[in-house]
């Protein structure tokens, strides 16, 4: 059964970030409120207990407050991924009232770096939002999309958001999808390894929790009791696009089933029995993965990265230190 539904409720955004994979969804449009309610009402049928509202910028949906209230009254845990541009004291009070955990995008430790990625004026706003959250006691984490532009600031980024009361610092490597597919932004294996070592060092030094998403191989490089290395080859998590399609991954355009057209139970059954999904969750590993001590956890790493870079989702994660190919 599923537990977490990552729902791209809108592909629209008020920024034009150079690394954005979700720009692919900008022309899809948004579901009417009535149909969005059907998704919230039906997700529990397959075991979903937590909904992550993301985008694009989810706060651009005129009915996003209605969706949050509906999910709250239905008993779901919730999070919201936002760039912070629309956040003010009113929004802060609303998110606190309905117990929405916030993930705030912060793409550097310096103004110049953040704004090179996210645009002029975005740095002062994100600092303002972190100050507001700290003042109001809002539970939140931050997300940094690691690229060649900002990866050398990973350690300072953690220190920065820690000082503003973020409960956790999250980092995720930029994927060559959406706008990033047209730019040479993705970091290589050596750069990723450097980030992992620095992150583990600073997390241990300050006893501060850090999550490295989409890097299940991370412990091969360094480890810390305060660092979590995440992967997604499981039936417990799934991605839903703005038109209610269950995706193999939110950076790929592999649509497996549609929960509105088929209903959650039927769509989920089809998803779980899809040959591609079964192969991803239960992969037939080859070397170097087959003899790796992390094989049961990592399962070959990020299949989407392997597909986008190597053209084959069966290949091992190109960022893994055990993989011979270099980026």
The pairing of strands 50-54 and 168-173 is unpaired
Q: Any idea which residue has 């760039």 for tokens?
A: 83
User: What residues contact 311, with CB distance under 8 A and at least 6 apart?
Assistant: none
Identify which has the larger pLDDT, 245 or 23.
245
Q: Evaluate if residue 6 carries a pLDDT over 80.
A: yes
List the one residue out of 97, 6, 115 whose CA is nearest residue 56: 6
Mean local confidence (pLDDT), 13-23: 94
Round to whole Å and give the CA distance between 133 and 125: 12
Mention every residue, 6+ apart, whose C-beta is less than 8 A from residue 191: 148, 151
**Longest distance between any two alpha carbons in the chain, whole Å:** 53
pLDDT at position 326 over 50: no
Count of CB atoms situated within 10 Å of the CB of 286? 12
Which domains does the chain show, CATH number per domain?
4-310 (3.20.20.70)
Tokens of 185: 């932004």
Contact criterion met (CB below 8 Å) for 103 and 4? no
pLDDT digits (tens, 9 = 90+) for 99-157: 999 999 999 999 999 999 999 999 999 999 999 999 999 999 999 999 999 999 999 99
User: Chain-wide mean pLDDT for the chain?
Assistant: 96
Rounded to an integer, the average pLDDT of 257-265 is 97
Does residue 286 contact residue 295 with C-beta atoms inside 8 Å?
no
Contact predicate 50/6, CB 8 Å: no
pTM: 0.95
Look at residue 30 and give its three-state secondary structure. Answer: coil
Cβ atoms of residues 154 and 195 within 8 Å: yes
Q: So what's the pLDDT on residue 325?
A: 54
């Amino acid at each position: 059964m599923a537990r977490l539904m990552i729902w791209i409720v809108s592909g629209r955004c008020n920024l034009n970030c150079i690394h954005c994979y979700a720009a692919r969804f900008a022309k899809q449009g948004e579901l009417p409120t009535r149909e969005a309610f059907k998704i919230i009402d039906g997700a529990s049928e397959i075991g979903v207990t937590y909904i992550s509202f993301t985008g694009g910028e989810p706060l651009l949906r005129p009915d996003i407050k209605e969706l949050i209230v509906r999910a709250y009254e239905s008993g779901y845990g919730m999070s919201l991924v936002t760039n912070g541009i629309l956040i003010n004291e009113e929004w802060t009070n609303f998110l606190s009232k309905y117990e929405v955990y916030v993930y705030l995008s912060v793409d550097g430790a310096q103004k110049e770096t953040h704004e090179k990625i996210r645009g002029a004026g975005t740095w002062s706003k994100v600092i303002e939002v972190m100050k507001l959250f700290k003042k109001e006691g809002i539970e939140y984490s931050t997300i940094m999309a690691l690229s060649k532009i900002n990866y050398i600031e990973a350690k300072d980024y953690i220190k920065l958001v820690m000082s503003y009361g973020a409960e956790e610092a999250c980092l995720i490597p930029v994927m060559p999808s959406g706008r990033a597919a047209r730019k040479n932004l993705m970091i290589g294996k050596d750069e990723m390894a450097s980030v992992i070592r620095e992150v583990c060092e600073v997390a241990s030094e300050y006893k501060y929790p850090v999550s490295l998403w989409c890097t299940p191989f991370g412990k091969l490089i360094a480890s810390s009791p305060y660092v979590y290395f995440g992967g997604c080859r499981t039936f417990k998590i799934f991605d839903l696009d703005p038109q209610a399609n269950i995706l193999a991954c939110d950076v790929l355009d592999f649509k497996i089933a549609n929960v509105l057209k088929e209903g959650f139970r039927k769509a989920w059954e089809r998803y779980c029995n899809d040959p591609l999904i079964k192969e991803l969750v239960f992969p037939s590993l080859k070397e170097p993965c087959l003899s790796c001590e992390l094989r049961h956890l990592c399962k070959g790493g990020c299949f989407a990265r392997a597909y986008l870079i190597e053209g084959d989702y069966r290949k091992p994660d190109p960022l893994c230190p055990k993989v011979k190919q270099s980026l």
